[in-house]
């Protein structure tokens, strides 16, 4: 028979077992959170990351510090998160579809496992990239641009800075047998300037970074990479409507942490980011950037990544993009 002292000790131990995770959940966070950003400071995508960081800080009760790690099509930032301590104090707000899902197919070697090397917290928004020409360009439709590119062959060029933009452009080329030459960029400002100055014929860009130039007419949007029109950009033709039969490419933003991040921490982050998604201010902010709100959870985000890992393999093969 248990003595009163033994019973009390056992009850205390059991209480500790059940209260431990809850206690950890209540205590997180106790210090600033670091949010790794794969884009340079001041870019449209950097502004998006900082928007979510500021919203998260209010809900979490701690500062969220954005740390820019631009370069290598996002691999520098992704590796930094992969190698970080899995304690909930390093998060990754990023276009998961074009970074984690695309990387294994676009690069000969990556130093991380995109599916199992991270914890996948939730999705945030979805968007299509936009086929654009300069506002001064004579081309006002996809057929007009295509006819010109066929005549120019390799003398015509396009700019690329993101994985989704690269694949979007190569799918467009593959649809019509175009020989247009790719020019790689690291700086979105340089990419935009070269298009506006006539150094580039076209590009596929994300609306988050270049919404302002499209709105004021400096860039002319001809089509989106999704087959149908996007809710946030109803005036721009879907790829099928514009005459690009093989393109149905949609990107999504998401939140990730290093593998092994405690479940209570992940649950808190999921809850907070979905609260942010439900905020009307978030929907308004994303809409201005041509993006639809796209909330999710840990299970749905991982499942979506698994699907898009396969899709990106098909995209890269269809576009005949050799890994670098």
Domain boundary pick from 206, 226, 242: 242
Residues spanned by the domain of 238: 130-242
Say whether both 291 and 157 belong to one domain.
no
- Does 5 reside within a domain? no
Helix axes 188-196, 207-215, angle to 10 degrees: 30
Q: For the segment 74-128, what is each residue's pLDDT rounded down to a tens digit?
A: 999 999 999 999 999 999 999 999 899 999 998 999 999 999 999 999 999 999 9
Say whether both 178 and 191 belong to one domain.
yes
Say whether both 150 and 229 belong to one domain.
yes
Query: What CATH number does the domain containing 123 carry?
Result: 3.40.190.150
80 contacts 257 by C-beta, under 8 angstroms: no
Domain boundary pick from 242, 261, 287: 242
Q: For the segment 128-143, what is each residue's pLDDT rounded down to a tens digit?
A: 999 999 999 999 999 9
Highest mean pLDDT among 186-190, 237-241, 310-314: 237-241
Domain boundary pick from 178, 211, 242: 242
Q: What is the pLDDT of residue 259?
A: 98
Say whether both 208 and 134 belong to one domain.
yes
- pLDDT, greater one: 194 or 288: 194
Instruction: Kindly tell me if the per-residue pLDDT of 4 is higher than 80.
Output: no
Query: What CATH number does the domain containing 194 carry?
Result: 3.40.190.10
Say whether both 149 and 226 belong to one domain.
yes
- Does 9 reside within a domain? no
Q: What's the mean per-residue pLDDT of the chain?
A: 90
DSSP 66-109: EEE---GGGHHHHHHHHTS-SSSSEEEEE-HHHHTTTHHHH-S-
Q: For the segment 240-286, what is each residue's pLDDT rounded down to a tens digit?
A: 999 999 998 999 999 999 999 999 999 999 999 999 999 999 999 99
What tokens were used for 59?
């809900």
Instruction: Kindly tell me if the per-residue pLDDT of 22 is higher than 70.
Output: no
266 contacts 119 by C-beta, under 8 angstroms: yes
**Cα distance between residue 225 and residue 245, in whole Å:** 10
Say whether both 196 and 255 belong to one domain.
no
Q: What is the pLDDT of residue 21?
A: 45
Say whether both 146 and 214 belong to one domain.
yes
- Does 15 reside within a domain? no
Say whether both 138 and 192 belong to one domain.
yes
Q: What is the pLDDT of residue 13?
A: 40
Q: What is the pLDDT of residue 136?
A: 96
- Does 7 reside within a domain? no
291 contacts 232 by C-beta, under 8 angstroms: yes
Say whether both 197 and 263 belong to one domain.
no
Q: What is the pLDDT of residue 142?
A: 98
**Cα distance between residue 223 and residue 182, in whole Å:** 19
Q: What is the pLDDT of residue 7?
A: 38
- pLDDT, greater one: 87 or 188: 87
Say whether both 216 and 287 belong to one domain.
no
Strands (E), the chain: 33-37, 64-68, 90-94, 118-127, 130-134, 157-160, 181-184, 202-205, 219-224, 251-258, 292-293
What tokens were used for 252?
């999504």
**Cα distance between residue 240 and residue 107, in whole Å:** 29
Q: What is the pLDDT of residue 26?
A: 58
Q: What pTM was estimated for this model as a whole?
A: 0.80
**Cα distance between residue 81 and residue 253, in whole Å:** 16
How many domains does the structure of the chain reveal?
A: 2
- pLDDT, greater one: 122 or 24: 122
Q: For the segment 218-232, what is each residue's pLDDT rounded down to a tens digit?
A: 999 999 999 999 888
């Amino acid at each position: 028979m248990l003595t009163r002292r033994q019973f009390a000790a056992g009850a205390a131990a059991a209480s500790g077992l059940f209260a431990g995770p809850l206690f950890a959940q209540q205590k997180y966070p106790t210090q600033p959170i670091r949010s790794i950003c794969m884009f340079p400071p001041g870019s449209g995508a950097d502004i998006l990351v900082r928007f979510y960081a500021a919203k998260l800080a209010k809900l979490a009760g701690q500062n969220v510090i954005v740390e820019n790690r631009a370069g290598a099509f996002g691999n520098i930032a992704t590796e930094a998160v992969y190698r970080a301590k899995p304690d909930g104090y390093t998060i990754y707000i990023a276009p998961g579809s074009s970074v984690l899902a695309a990387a294994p197919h676009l690069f000969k070697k990556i130093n991380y496992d995109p599916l199992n090397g991270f914890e996948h917290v939730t999705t945030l928004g979805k968007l299509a990239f936009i086929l654009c020409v300069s506002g001064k360009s004579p081309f006002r439709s996809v057929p007009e641009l295509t006819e010109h590119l066929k005549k120019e062959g390799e003398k015509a060029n396009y700019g690329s800075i993101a994985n989704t933009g690269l694949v979007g452009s190569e799918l467009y080329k593959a649809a019509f047998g175009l020989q247009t030459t790719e020019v790689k960029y690291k700086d979105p400002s340089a990419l935009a300037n070269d298009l506006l100055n006539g150094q580039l014929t076209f590009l596929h860009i994300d609306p988050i970074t270049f919404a302002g130039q499209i709105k004021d007419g400096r860039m002319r949007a001809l089509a989106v990479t999704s087959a149908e029109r996007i809710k946030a950009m109803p005036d721009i033709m879907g790829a099928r409507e514009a005459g690009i039969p093989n393109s149905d490419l949609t990107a999504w933003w998401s939140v990730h942490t290093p593998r092994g991040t405690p479940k209570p921490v992940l649950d808190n982050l999921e809850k907070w980011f979905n609260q942010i998604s439900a905020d009307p201010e978030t929907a308004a902010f994303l809409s201005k950037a041509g993006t639809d709100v796209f909330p999710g959870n840990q299970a749905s985000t991982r499942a979506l990544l698994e699907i898009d890992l396969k899709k990106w393999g098909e995209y890269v093969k269809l576009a005949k993009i050799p890994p670098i």
